[in-house]
Chain A
Amino acid sequence: MNKRHMSTALAGLAVLSGVAFQSGGQAFAQAANAASAHRVAAVTSLTGAGSTFDYPFFNKAFYVYGEQYHVQVNYSSIGSGGGIQQFTARTVNFGASDVPMNSGEVKKAEAGGGAVVQLPIALGGEAISYNLPTVKQRLKFTPQVIADIYLGKIRKWNAHQLQVLNSGVKLPNLPIVVVHRSDGSGTTYIFSDFLSTISPQWAKQIGRGKSVNWPVGIGGKGNEAVAENVRNTVGAIGYVELAYVLQTHMAYGFVKNRAGQYLLPSPATVAVAAAQKPGVTSTNFSIVWEPGKNSYPISGYSWVLLYKKQPNVATKNAVVKLFDWMEGPGQAQAATVDYVPLPANIRAQAHRLLATLK
């Protein structure tokens, strides 16, 4: 074997690996931007990425939009974190995240693409579902009891605290099997936000986040796995998105709200909670534990991320038209997949924000 051939091969591989070491993402983003800047005709396709919570709603809404306006919107459901990363790298037209970007993430995105606009796009509530085949009535829970169950302080279904709330019900002597999400999720963020708000012990010990250090319980990957674990295990309890629980007919309970009412999660009760905070912004976005007689206490928004400065006029028009529609007629599509339509004042605010795009 010729030494020269070996060194040629080595040199070729070194060049290849050097190229590989460059941020490939950056190169792609620049290429994509260059391509979009040269687009002259009307834009016929847009891309987005992010939250899995939004996916069923987006899937339906974008299909209907495509049929009406002949613009194809491709959405990659890779998770809120992925959505923020792709948005920051400017490889997509919009990102979607269950939790708005924090100041650090906003700064990083602004460094690349200028000012960022975050709009609420979807609204959801979380049901407390459980598996107790011998119990026919719907159970009642208070926030403190839920916190204590998830802290591991209440271990059995017939514990005194639960029995007191459900006096007419014969609760079985079964251990409570706590189920939570194992993947990082906006659903977990909203739930831990709720628990941090009503339980100082939870706030101090565990805190709020898309992934937290759960004191007890088993983790399921995705709403589906949580639901499956609850269905398979007698005595299990888990928090699941409302849309999911409605479609799979799981048993879920009443939760006591701030006004002292025991409420079931439903499009009506979640919408009331959202309406309590008309001035919701990306820095003040939590709507758990809102006041109001019919406010469901475990609710939260999902957000769409856009750059104020769009690469060209055609793209800006396409993006603004899409999201004006999503914040208007598109919300009717939300109801058909058991999502909660946004309240009118929130939508008006979103339209105002969209008007600022350049």
Chain B
Amino acid sequence: MSLLRDKTAQVWIWASVLLLPLLIVLFLIMQGNQSADSIARFGWGFLLGTTWDPVHQIFGGLPFLFGTVVTSLFSLVAAGVIGLGAAVFLTFYSRGRVRSSLGVLIELLAAIPSVVYGLWGLYVMVPWLQGVGEPFLARNFGFLPFFRGASLGVGYLAGGLILSIMILPTITAMARDVLLAVPREIHEGALAIGATKFEVIRVISLPFARSGIIGALMLGFGRAVSETIAVTMVIGNRPQISSSMFAPGYTLASVIANEFTEATYQLYISALNEIGLVLLLLTALFYGVARLLVWRSTRGVGM
């Protein structure tokens, strides 16, 4: 009896392990299949084309790629800096009740549904940006090309900000967990030889937790890249490439969400699937780069 149970368990375990890579491979194949018409028609021009015209059947994905990369990188930097700071505070500068209640609040932020963020963004953040935030930036930093043009409220800045807020709890929580796992002996040892508290954090703890922190950033970036509803409500939905953060933009996920239900001819559906394929490959590329970074930076240090 226990031999049968053993064998069943082994089959189940193997199935589970193989399911994940199989799903990814299947996904890529199915996406590639669905995008075949569009790839055949446009080739590499799809990634370089800037016109998205369903009426004249011309599809180019560069503005969406640009929008996704810009908003996601912006949110990664903003949430990374703030999130890491918050994690350091939670780990090294707070204790007991403060630490646990702050931790709970941050995790609550992560649980808020995207649609709610989108509604808040559209009804609260966008009017504030249009009336207060963007004019302030235009007045004081208008010499930079990023803060030029009309203040509409919606745009790359709104999209980047809402993504930052959305991925902040993920990054903070993960970074805090990783920092908490740094062995206390190392921390105390450094203090014992005369390092200041901040020196210990900067020179000892953070490098020790480096791979975990990069992992946290990757997870955050993954969420930012795929976020659809919240972004489409505040980004302005205009497929254009612009140097100004005030300009309206468009992302890969948003165009799929906006146009999929009304795509009524094969090339249109295929082009939208190709957008999905590009999104998939972009995420895979970024994860690959991140893994490379983690591997290279942790060759010497252990974790």
> Which residues of A from 208 to 226 have beta carbons under 8 Å from B?
208-214, 217-221, 225
| Interface status of B265 (Cβ within 8 A of chain A) | yes
Q: Across the interface, do B154 and A8 meet the contact criterion of CB distance under 8 Å?
A: no
Contacts of B150 in A (CB 8 A): 175, 177
Q: Are A233 and B152 in contact (CB under 8 A)?
A: yes
Residues of the B chain whose Cβ atoms lie less than 8 Å from the Cβ of A184: 54, 258-259, 261-263
Give the residue name and chain of the B residue nearest to A82 (CB).
B261
Q: What is the minimal beta-carbon distance from B259 to any residue of chain A, in angstroms?
A: 5
Query: B140 in the interface, Cβ–Cβ < 8 Å?
Result: no
Is A219 within 8 A of B237, CB to CB?
A: yes
- Report if A221-B232 is in contact (Cβ < 8 Å); known contacts: A2-B7, A9-B18, A232-B126: yes
With the chains together, A345 CA to B267 CA distance in Å? 38
Chain B residues with CB under 8 Å of A84's CB are: 264
Interface check A80, CB cutoff 8 A = yes
Minimum distance in angstroms from A166 CB to a CB of chain B:
23
Chain B CB within 8 A of A34 CB: no
A25 to chain B, nearest CB (A): 14
CA distance A179 to B13 in the complex (A): 54
Query: Is B146 an interface residue, CB under 8 A from the partner?
Result: no
Separation in Å of the A132 CB from the closest CB of chain B?
A: 16
B296 within 8 A of partner (CB): no
Chain A residues, CB < 8 A from B236: 218-219
> How far apart are A17's CB and chain B's nearest CB, in angstroms?
6
Q: What is the chain A residue whose CB lies nearest that of B153?
A: A232
In this complex, what residue of A is CB-closest to B263?
A81
Q: Does B142 contact A (CB under 8 A)?
A: no
Q: Scoring A residues 67 to 78 as 1 if CB is less than 8 Å from chain B, else 0, what string do you get?
A: 000000000001
* B262 and A1 form a contact (CB under 8 A): no
Nearest chain-B residue to A184 (Cβ)? B262
B237 and A221 within 8 A (CB): yes
A54 to chain B, nearest CB (A): 14
- A208: chain B residues at CB < 8 Å are 55
Which of B130, B238, B264 counts the most chain A CB atoms within 10 A? B264
Return B246 CB to nearest CB of chain A, in Å: 12
Cβ < 8 Å to B, chain A residues 4-60: 5-6, 8-10, 12-13, 17, 20-21
Q: Are A8 and B11 in contact, CB atoms less than 8 angstroms apart? A: yes
**B123 located at the interface, meaning its Cβ lies under 8 Å from any Cβ of chain A in the complex:** yes
Interface centre among B11, B232, B237 (most CB of A within 10 A): B237
Does B19 count as interface, using CB distance less than 8 angstroms?
yes
Whether A212 touches B18, Cβ cut-off 8 Å, given contacts A104-B265, A183-B258, is no
For the complex, what is the distance from the CA of A99 to the CA of B209, rounded to whole Å? 57
- A13 and B237 contacting across the interface, CB-CB below 8 Å: no
Check if A219 sits within 8 Å of B258, measured CB to CB: yes
Asked if residues B18 and A206 are in contact (CB atoms below 8 Å), the reply is no
Residue of B12, B19, B56, B250 near A213 (CB, 8 A) is B56
Least CB distance, A201 to chain B, in whole angstroms? 14
B258 contact from A104, A182, A229, Cβ within 8 A: A182
A230-255 to B contact mask, C-beta < 8 Å, 1/0: 00110000000000000000000000
Complex formed: what's the CA distance from A197 to B53 in Å?
Answer: 19
Q: Is the CB of A182 within 8 A of B237?
A: yes
C-alpha spacing A105/B264, complex, angstroms: 8
B127 touches A13 (CB 8 A): no
List 14 extra interface pairs beyond A10-B15, A79-B262, CB under 8 A: A5-B14, A17-B22, A81-B263, A177-B152, A182-B232, A182-B254, A183-B257, A184-B263, A207-B55, A211-B54, A211-B262, A212-B55, A213-B58, A218-B152
Ranked 3 nearest A-B pairs via Cβ: A184-B262, A79-B261, A219-B237
- Residues on B close to A: CB < 8 A? 7, 10-15, 18-19, 22, 26, 30, 51-56, 58, 122-123, 126-127, 130, 150, 152-154, 232-233, 236-238, 248, 250, 254, 257-265
Chain A interface residues (CB < 8 Å from chain B): 1-2, 5-6, 8-10, 12-13, 17, 20-21, 78-82, 84, 104-105, 175, 177, 182-185, 206-214, 217-221, 225, 228-229, 232-233
